[in-house]
Amino acid sequence: MYDIIVIGAGPAGLTAALYGCRAEKKVLVIEKNSFGGQITHSPRVENYPGFAEMTGMEFADKLVEQVLAQGAEMEFDCVEKIEGELGNYKVICTDSEFTGKTVIIATGSHHRMLGLENEEKFTGDGISYCAVCDGAFYRDRTVAVIGGGNTALQEAVMLSNICSSVTIVQNLDFLTGEQKLIDEINSKDNITTILSATVAEILGDDEFKGIVIDVNGDKQTLNVDGVFVAIGQQPENEPFENVAPLNDYGYIVSDESCTIANQTGIFVAGDCRTKTVRQITTATADGAVAALAACKLI
């Protein structure tokens, strides 16, 4: 019997485990892929307080090491379902089953990818999914933003202030973001919008060279220095539908208290919940809040 079972080993989940262990609780962390979460794919992290620069892998390694030193147990497995009630929750996985007094869901979300060859190869080295995280690396350079919704337009505006030129590539024949953002896009001299276009190919052998787009059947090459993909994020909360309400986009409905409505003993932390800002700092904050709430309940 564990005091706290944490599902997910990204910054939110590992911080929750750290706080739980420091409160002398017996903590288990279950992760299906790799410890550290999405941040491990970032080549440089410069927006975490106290560290001028580090790689995402360095950050993850230090956090994992810290959590293990505090006594947390870790398991590689895929959670399929949560059953039970406060004091006796069963976390059912593909290969095993664990029992805990409380559960913290911290499975994060992943950026929707283009699904093209070389995309993973150049992720972090020509292809990014977060202008806030990586935009500064492309100062005075040329970039493309893939997508036409609010997130894509916000990133394009931000990038236009530091990059020499920004090209928006949207698969529809109109931008789907708010009119205020569209007006701002149209007012920028260094932003170009290409509609009814999809990314057909990512160019480069040893280094990123640009992309080929398909505009109504006409192939065009964009020799940009970087590409920011902003076609949405996707949580993986289906296994928790029986214990947590999901919004229309699949995120667990919760506020800054990290509690779940009509559910006692199950908490949610990090990018998998409804929230406005998804950054490392907000994920670790959620982990602390959820763990302290679980400890108080126990």
Residues involved in catalysis: 130, 133-134
* Parallel, antiparallel or unpaired: strands 127-128 and 109-111: unpaired
**CB-based burial label for 4 (10 Å; 0-12, 13-18, 19+):** buried
How far, in whole angstroms, is CA 280 from its chain's centroid? 9
Distance from the first to the final alpha carbon of the chain: 13
**Which residues have a Cβ under 8 Å from the Cβ of 288 and sit 6 or more positions away?**
15, 16, 19
CB-based contact 228:144 (threshold 8 Å): yes
Position 42: which residue type? S
Position 275: which residue type? K
